[in-house]
Amino acid sequence: MSPRRRLLHYFRRYRRQLLLGALCVVGSAGFSLLKPLIIGNAVDTLAKAVTRGTLVRYALLLVGAAAIEGAFLYAQRWIIIGASRRIEYDMRNDFYAHLQALPLSYYQDQRTGDLMSRITNDLASVRMLVGPAVMYTGSALLVVGGAFVMMLRIDRLMALAALFAVPVVATLVKIFGEQIHVRSKDVQDNFGELSARVQENLAGVRVVRAFTQEHNELESFKRANRDYVDYNRALIRLTATFYPSLHAMIGLIFVVIFFLGSRRIVAGTMTIGAFVAFQFLLGRMVWPLIALGWVINLFQRGMASMQRLHEVWVVEPDAGAHEGQPLEGPIEGNLEVRDLTFGYTAAGRSVLRDVNLSVRRGETIGYVGDTGNAGAGNYHLHFEITVTDDPKRWYGGQPLNPYPLLTGKR
């Protein structure tokens, strides 16, 4: 299952809530576009005669449209953002359950801090994609499309000139969006590396202090932290170029529209109210395009994080992870192992080969492997401790020697 299909799988779980939220998005977009028309009609009407009744009527219309738009905005955020939180909850539970089912060999090559970063920071980025990014994308498309249709009804040439902003913005989004995706994934990967380093140092703080490695570990952390800051600054530089470029292009569009509208007003082919309504509609169309840059950033960050989660989800779980029943009550009896061969990874070198042993109740068997450099041989340490009622410990009927026996051959 690809990252996109996995996201759609979670979307389907809450399709009713998301559909209701989409209806609220349509309602808020519709009343948002209604306000410029009210303002344009008010300007033309008041240009003829200013009366108290006219002022009150248009004021009530504006307040009513704004209130209804606000109610739809509240509802869409409450429904869609709420659904995104529930999706995040389900994804986190599923991801944690998958981690529990993975074979032990998988964890030999993974860092705990990086896995913690994926289940916390990356899932938060995916939630921003599922909630705000989807909500604002739908709102932007509706507002831009509706505003353009209304602008066409006012003046076709000016509407087509304003439409020039769309391919410009689309080109900028494509160029910058790909780079934002790559750098966002670099940031997330580096954050996982930084989290892993912190977790390992905290878990092994006794070892670090025992070998007086505090200074070295601090310097190592500073380098990792500096790398994380550098990756973030590279992403910030990219977005800092993206947004001003959008604003510059949009500012040029406003200048062109102002020039064309002024000529039409002077020629008498357009009323002042129509020009004001057109300018407000242009603003309604333009600002979602600017917000689209922020949405693209959320989308790229979310997909980069979803890719990191997918890297763990594609690992096949252990077939026997959920088999068997938990033992109840005390465990009694002897333990026998026959022909045991064990390696930390399936393709790696075996650290135990053909081990056979029998452990009776009250006995402890210990195997210690490869300490120091014993030359080219395959020496392994083997010691057996039998626990008796005597406070002393014995080995093979003799007092336990502090140096275990060496077994094996060159």
Task: Give the pLDDT confidence of 155-176 residue by residue, as tens digits.
Answer: 888 888 888 777 777 777 777 7
**pLDDT tens column, 323-334:** 556 656 666 677
**Residue type at 301?**
R
* Model pLDDT, residue 31: 92
Rounded Cα distance between 118 and 312, Å, is: 9
The sign of the CA dihedral 10, 15, 20, 24 is: positive
Rounded Cα distance between 139 and 30, Å, is: 10
* Model pLDDT, residue 60: 93
* Model pLDDT, residue 329: 64
How are beta strands 394-395 and 398-399 bridged, if at all? antiparallel
What are the structure tokens assigned to 384, written together? 């057996």
Q: How far is CA 51 from CA 56, 171, 233, 271, in A?
A: 9, 48, 57, 20
pTM over cut 0.85: no
Report the percent of the chain where pLDDT is more than 70. 84
**Residue type at 77?**
R
Burial (CB count within 10 angstroms: exposed 0-12, middle 13-18, buried 19+), residue 84 = buried
- Number of neighbours of residue 385 by Cβ within 10 angstroms: 12
**Residue type at 10?**
Y
**pLDDT tens column, 192-225:** 788 878 878 888 888 888 888 888 888 888 888 8
* Model pLDDT, residue 237: 86
Rounded Cα distance between 72 and 25, Å, is: 7
Helix/strand/coil for 1: coil
Q: Helix count (H) and strand count (E) of the chain?
A: 11, 7
| Per-domain boundaries in the chain | 3-313, 335-407
Digit-by-digit pLDDT tens for the chain (410 residues) are: 788 888 888 888 888 999 999 999 999 999 999 999 898 888 888 888 778 888 889 899 999 999 999 999 999 999 999 999 999 999 999 999 888 888 877 887 787 778 888 888 888 888 888 888 888 888 888 988 898 899 898 888 888 888 877 777 777 777 777 787 778 778 877 887 888 788 788 888 888 888 888 888 888 888 888 888 888 888 888 888 877 877 787 778 888 888 888 888 888 888 888 888 888 888 888 778 767 767 877 888 888 888 888 888 888 887 655 555 665 666 667 778 888 887 766 666 777 788 888 888 777 777 766 654 444 444 444 434 343 444 343 334 444 333 333 333 32
Q: How far is CA 211 from CA 85, 202, 235, 240, 303, in A?
A: 45, 15, 38, 45, 42
Burial (CB count within 10 angstroms: exposed 0-12, middle 13-18, buried 19+), residue 261 = buried
End-to-end CA distance of the chain: 50
Rounded Cα distance between 211 and 189, Å, is: 30
The sign of the CA dihedral 258, 264, 269, 271 is: positive
Question: Which strand (E) or helix (H) includes residue 30?
Answer: helix 15-48
Helix locations, 268-410, DSSP H: 272-313
* Model pLDDT, residue 86: 92
CATH of domain 3-313: 1.20.1560.10
* Model pLDDT, residue 371: 56
Rounded Cα distance between 292 and 301, Å, is: 14
